[in-house]
Amino acid sequence: MVAYTIGNLLREGASILKEAGINSPYLDGQLLLKYISGYSKVDMVIYRDRLVDDKTVEAFFQLIEERKKGKPIQYITGHQEFMSLDFYVHENVLIPRPDTEVLVEKVLELLRDKDNPVIADVCTGTGAIAVSLAYYLPDSFVYASDISHHAVECCSKNIKRHGLESRMKLLQGDLLEPLFEEGLEGKLDALVSNPPYISKKDMESLPTSVRGFEPHLALYGGEDGMEFYDRILEDVCKLLKKGGLLAFEIGWDQGPVLAKHLEDKGIFKDIIIEKDLAGLDRIVYCFLEE
Ligand SMILES: C[S@@+](CC[C@H](N)C(=O)[O-])C[C@H]1O[C@@H](n2cnc3c(N)ncnc32)[C@H](O)[C@@H]1O
């Protein structure tokens, strides 16, 4: 086998990924090498002339092959950072997106002064939203629920990873059903959700890294992408306290439609659409009338 230094290995890995059209080939190579060898990025610079053992070289090129086929780096390494916290992810669960931090930050801002808020995150996936809220609101209690047992398993690991077992409860089931089964009627200060919201038409134009690798169950939101919001709106008023917060992540073109659906219900006030850092509509939130 060819002898590789850290520097040569990274260069060759990056060149394979670049040729395959991967956007950040050098960075991805570093992440993969870190994953298998434990070298930090700084180590990789300081020790760039150090020889790498054959087993590590072989493992590195195997991972480069996976990445070359478009598999997201997070599914290879099992990690994604969200709200400056490390989350475990696996292939049957959506990778948390930086855009979703807009939703979490808004909910944190709105609940910061509330004593002991009780919150539910439905369609929790890895638990990125629920775990972050519980972590940054130290007197909160957070319910996280999802229909997928893969998501529940993944979220459970993340709850443990951040030591939140005593302030979170994980539920499995269809949308709001597990919350009713838990006896939460009229008990929630906030319900948040980033449900599947991709429309039938938009599913076809998703990039391969998403369509080919991320679970359909986490993406498809029905013909017009609105199915999950509408189903949540049917009964959420029974779960929220008066004045309780309802906050959703949305697709860039769903804000006005969802705001209209909320208005039509006639029981929500202060309906607000906010944008993400790219200037696109990203969240809608409102409050149940007092
Ligand atoms: C867009 S992902 C969001 C994951 C996570 N909240 C996040 O922001 O990273 C949607 C999630 O909804 C879950 N889901 C799909 N249908 C559901 C249903 N009927 N009831 C509850 N969860 C559902 C999927 O399993 C998936 O984890």
222: Cβ contacts below 8 Å, ≥ 6 apart = 199, 200, 228
Indicate which atom in ligand 1 lies nearest the CA of residue 174: 20
Residue 225 has pLDDT above 90, yes or no: yes
104: Cβ contacts below 8 Å, ≥ 6 apart = 83, 128, 129, 132, 133, 136
pLDDT-derived band at 161 (thresholds 50, 70, 90) equals very high
What is d(CA 175, CA 124) in angstroms, rounded to the nearest whole number? 10
Provide the pLDDT for residue 33.
97
Helix or strand holding residue 193 (H, E): strand 188-193
b or e along 115-128 (b: 16 or more beta carbons within 10 Å of the residue's beta carbon)? eebbbbbbbbbbbb
pLDDT in tens, 228-264: 999 999 999 999 999 999 999 999 999 999 999 999 9
Residue nearest atom 14 of ligand 1, based on CA coordinates: 123
pLDDT in tens, 165-224: 999 999 999 999 999 999 999 999 999 999 999 999 999 999 888 989 999 999 999 999
Residues above pLDDT 90, as percent of the chain: 97
Pairing of strands 188-193, 168-172: unpaired
**DSSP conformational letter for 147:** S
Q: What angle do CA 226, 217, 122 make, to 5 degrees?
A: 65
Residue nearest atom 6 of ligand 1, based on CA coordinates: 124
Indicate which atom in ligand 1 lies nearest the CA of residue 148: 25
**DSSP conformational letter for 143:** E
- Cβ distance 244 to 185 under 8 Å? no
Q: 124: Cβ below 6 Å to ligand 1?
A: yes
Q: What are phi and psi of 146, to 5 degrees?
A: -155, 155
Indicate which atom in ligand 1 lies nearest the CA of residue 82: 9
Residues in the chain, total: 290
Predicted TM-score (pTM) of this structure: 0.95
What is d(CA 167, CA 212) in angstroms, rounded to the nearest whole number? 36
Which domains does the chain carry?
4-70 (1.10.8.10), 79-288 (3.40.50.150)
Helix or strand holding residue 281 (H, E): strand 281-288
